[in-house]
Structure 1
Amino acid sequence: MMLTNLDLVELTAFRRELHRFPEVSGEEVETAQRIVAALTVLSPSKILTGLGGHGVAAVFDSGVEGPTVLFRAELDALPIEEKNSKIDYASEIAGKSHVCGHDGHMTMLLALGRVLARQPVAKGRVVLMFQPAEEDGSGAKAVVADPAYQEIAADWAFAIHLEPGRPFGYVSTVPGLINCASLGLTIKLTGKTAHAADPEDGVSPARAIAELIPKLEALGTGGALDEAFRLVTLTHVQIGEPSFGIAPGDGVIFTTLRSTHDAGLEGIETAARALAEAAAQTYGLGVDFEVTDHFAASINAPEAYEVAIKAMETLDVPYGDAGVPMRASEDFGVFGWGAKAAMLCLGPGEDYAALHNPDYDFPDDIIPIGTAIFERIARDLLGSAQEP
């Protein structure tokens, strides 16, 4: 079932409307409302709201026993000021923008909904999942933990993320690891300030932090994305305040920890905490930790990978392993804890603006390609109902 020219005009306009009004993780109230309004006219079997926060799910149920196939998009935008003079639908919300393509991902799911409404599946059910808070790694976990999710728990789960640096319409994917596990670890060291003329009267974190920096970095130096891969990236360090008259009494280190699997990430975190606690004890400091942006590893199940490959071969969509697996993280992997899951990375062009850049914009002409891949997967797993 092809999208019509009118579909594409309306979907493009909707995508650009989403682009104008971005909402960041945990704040996706109006975005969710727009999605619900767009889904309602398609008359799905059920629409669930408030999943894991502001998540929305539309269920297209055949009424015939069969598997549940979930397709996921993300509701949230980024806290980045958009700078793009080439478009007339730029973000109207200061400091926030859809420069990661989530507006386009949502639109592809809505396009799939239009197709399924016209030609239902023959068995099982399709779930269109619009999940909140992908950018901080909390959304998928909150959705899956929501008791309402048990009504629609997936047997199969698929997602497409636009990934610049690949030819237009080319899909990168592999079985196994597709995105690394990662988390942000904040280390707060607390001592006592003093006059800069009498630093011995205080307790400074300076030496502790100076020792910690190379030790933390040594926990993970990168390399090949194999079982042993570990990467520790220091992203922010601060000691005291910018003053010449005060010896510092506190300090903070922001570090991102990364591994190819969840157990490896846990091991790096344990080691990093131990180093910080030892340094704090040596220099008489207090120490506290905070974890943010915690992403599970995203693993493509071989069976789901094969389903996706078959769909792309049917559609003559070029695919391969260019640029994957990736060091970057993506919380879609959580859906793979209870389902056979696969992430597909769709190319907008090799010279396209990079994700999270202030001039990035989703290319509307790729909507039909992503939608066709999703539909073919749904048909291959669930078939098509007979025309009335």
Structure 2
Amino acid sequence: MLTNSDLVELTEFRRALHRRPEVSGEEAETAKTVVAALKAMCPAAIHTGLGGHGVAAIFDSGKVGPTVLFRAELDALPIEERNGAIAWPSEIPGNSHVCGHDGHMTMLLALGLMISRRPVAQGRVILMFQPAEEDGSGAKAVVADPAFDQLKPDWAFAIHNAPGSPFGVVSSRVGLMNCASLGLKVKLSGKTAHAADPQDGVSPALAVAKLIPALDDLGHGEGGPRNDAFRLVTITHANIGEPTFGIAPGHAEVFATLRTADDAGMESLETAARNIATSVADQYGLGVAFEIHDHFAASVNDADAYNVATRAMEAIGVPYGQESVPMRASEDFGVFGWRAKAAMLLLGSGEDHAALHNPDYDFHDDLIPIGSAIFERIARDLLGSA
């Protein structure tokens, strides 16, 4: 159980993390800060450098039993914070913890405190601080790391704060929690020309004008993610040539984010998008190339893991339901479900709370004891107490 003194220290720790945000793949300082805090809890082992800057602390009972992994994220976002209401603003220009990963890390450390003081009776608890969640690469890199083979979780759980939902109320469900998504960059290549003689070149301008609505028409999100046929294409960026008046353009790029309710649907949607781009490029005599970015697998809750989590919440009086799930937004926690029974929980931070990724967002510190209590009860229910 956490004391008032614990909560004061944890809150200060969270705010210290908030001041020093590091984006995906650059979380070296954040990882060192987490490791220093973990060492004071004397876990059986601490693994570092997992899939980049990932950290895993193992609390081992020394007795045979399941391994239960709890995950938080290390990374922040490349968003300039604009929040004059807090006394702990980001000190790194252009970077900010406006998704709440600073709070998620702190909840995990709170769990570590409780497990260190009152060990589990069997099996192992793993606190996983994962890098690069925001671009979808981190969980895959962690699971692919040879060191992860030593962890081998049987169960995996994560909590993400959820602005817009009632404070302290959890949303979750069996099955899809977060959509699959993929960033597709379409690169069109032609030939520049003098703006006075555009016929001497091959411009991608008309191709881009045709490609954008054609991609958009592939899916508009009808029925929402509970519909297995859900498909959504969002054009996020486009550029043509150079910012000048004397040159007819010779190259262009279109960025599109694809979303589907499952991984199989993503394969189909990506193929359709590539085919359309290739057809349009051929029509206008252009070369075409593709790049994939921010590829997230669908996050799917296992029924057994969901039931473990709901029983834990019932035991400690945390209300829950299925409001606002599944989410259109993506989360790479689902990768841990490839090897373990996994469940993601969305913990409401208030109906009027600033939205995730807003420049004035800040994590609600009063969620720390709620989230860590859910985690602890899950661990006790699965592993008991010494």
1:194-213 CA deviation, whole Å, 9 max, x = no partner? Answer: 11111110001112212212
CA–CA separation in structure 2 for the residues paired with 1:296 and 1:140 = 10
Counterpart position of 1:141: 140
CA–CA separation in structure 1 for the residues paired with 2:239 and 2:327 = 30
* Corresponding residue SS for 1:39: helix
CA–CA separation in structure 2 for the residues paired with 1:237 and 1:144 = 34
TM-score normalized with structure 1 length:
0.98
Give 1:89's aligned amino acid: W
* Corresponding residue SS for 1:264: helix
1:216 aligns with 2:219: no
CA–CA separation in structure 2 for the residues paired with 1:227 and 1:366 = 33
Counterpart position of 1:80: 79
CA–CA separation in structure 1 for the residues paired with 2:222 and 2:315 = 36
1:241-289 CA deviation, whole Å, 9 max, x = no partner? Answer: 2322221111110000000111111111111111111222222111111
Give 2:273's aligned amino acid: A
CA–CA separation in structure 1 for the residues paired with 2:256 and 2:32 = 36
Counterpart position of 1:232: 233
Q: How does 1:157-176 map to 2 (within 5 A)?
A: 157-176=156-175
Give 1:360's aligned amino acid: Y
CA–CA separation in structure 1 for the residues paired with 2:105 and 2:301 = 21
Counterpart position of 1:36: 35
The structural deviation recorded for 1:167 is: 1.1
Give 2:37's aligned amino acid: A
1:188 aligns with 2:187: yes
Aligned residue pairs: how many? 384
Counterpart position of 1:307: 308
Q: How does 1:42-57 map to 2 (within 5 A)?
A: 42-57=41-56
Counterpart position of 1:117: 116
Give 2:177's aligned amino acid: I
* Corresponding residue SS for 1:71: strand
Counterpart position of 2:245: 244
CA–CA separation in structure 2 for the residues paired with 1:192 and 1:43 = 63
- Aligned-residue CA RMSD (Å): 0.8
* Corresponding residue SS for 2:385: coil
The structural deviation recorded for 1:148 is: 0.1
CA–CA separation in structure 1 for the residues paired with 2:212 and 2:314 = 49
The structural deviation recorded for 1:335 is: 0.3
The structural deviation recorded for 1:354 is: 0.6
Unaligned runs of 5+ in 2: none
CA–CA separation in structure 1 for the residues paired with 2:166 and 2:276 = 44
1:284-322 CA deviation, whole Å, 9 max, x = no partner? Answer: 111111111110000000111100100010011110011
Counterpart position of 1:207: 206
CA–CA separation in structure 1 for the residues paired with 2:217 and 2:95 = 35
* Corresponding residue SS for 1:59: strand
CA–CA separation in structure 2 for the residues paired with 1:260 and 1:324 = 12
* Corresponding residue SS for 1:95: coil
Counterpart position of 1:338: 339
Counterpart position of 2:361: 360
Give 1:267's aligned amino acid: S
TM-score normalized with structure 2 length:
0.98
Q: How does 1:146-157 map to 2 (within 5 A)?
A: 146-157=145-156
Give 2:369's aligned amino acid: P
Structure 1 segments of 4+ aligned residues over 4 angstroms from their partners:
none
Counterpart position of 1:90: 89
CA–CA separation in structure 1 for the residues paired with 2:341 and 2:188 = 43
1:64-102 CA deviation, whole Å, 9 max, x = no partner? Answer: 111110000000000011111111110000000101000
CA–CA separation in structure 2 for the residues paired with 1:220 and 1:61 = 48
Answer with 266-275 or 239-248: which moved more: 239-248
